[in-house]
Amino acid sequence: DIGDIIRGRDLFRGNNEEKKQRKQLEDNKRKIYGKIYDEVTRGKTNEKKLALQARYKKDDEDGNFLKLREDWWDANRATVWKAITCKAEQNDKYIREKNSNGNTCTVNKCKCANGDPPTYKDYVPQYLR
């Protein structure tokens, strides 16, 4: 799903014909997150800059930016969900109406009753979904 793709955890490898496109996508994501890394660690006060550089040090070394991707997803997942569901009609539902506790979960435009994106599968490993 989108969260796994952004966070670099997508298990789907595709067929051989798609491997070239997949590599290109990964390379593009590395470039994008490299730019985000540069933006996040530049122009801050010394203390903030050093803290961010320390937080993302390993990300910068391996070029995959997995921690940065995770933080970006945490900060932007509601906006991504809003963009995905912007054309959802008032009564459209996402998978189910109630959560495992029997509480209303996804009502009104594919959102939880409190307006948040449904998260009951957000951090379940992909192979278990």
- Tell how strand 111-112 and strand 106-107 pair up: antiparallel
Identify which has the larger pLDDT, 74 or 8: 74
Q: How many CB atoms lie within 10 A of CB 59?
A: 20
Alpha carbons 35 and 42: distance in angstroms, whole number? 10
Do 118 and 59 belong to one domain? no
Residue 4, pLDDT above cutoff 80 = no
- For residue 125, what pLDDT is reported? 57
In order of 66, 70, 97, 105, 124, the CA distances from 116 in angstroms are 24, 18, 14, 10, 18
pTM of the model: 0.65
Q: Is the dihedral of CA 57, 58, 62, 67 positive or negative?
A: negative
Q: Is the dihedral of CA 39, 27, 29, 3 positive or negative?
A: negative
Q: How many domains does the chain have?
A: 2
Do 46 and 109 belong to one domain? no
Beta carbons of 2 and 80 less than 8 angstroms apart: yes
Q: Tokens standing for 122?
A: 């957000």
Do 67 and 117 belong to one domain? no
Do 78 and 92 belong to one domain? no
Do 36 and 99 belong to one domain? no
Which pLDDT tens digit goes with each residue over 32-80? 988 988 888 887 678 888 888 888 887 767 788 889 998 998 898 888 8
Do 50 and 108 belong to one domain? no
Q: Which residue range(s) make up the domain with 123?
A: 88-129
How does the average pLDDT of the chain come out, rounded?
74
Identify which has the larger pLDDT, 23 or 100: 23
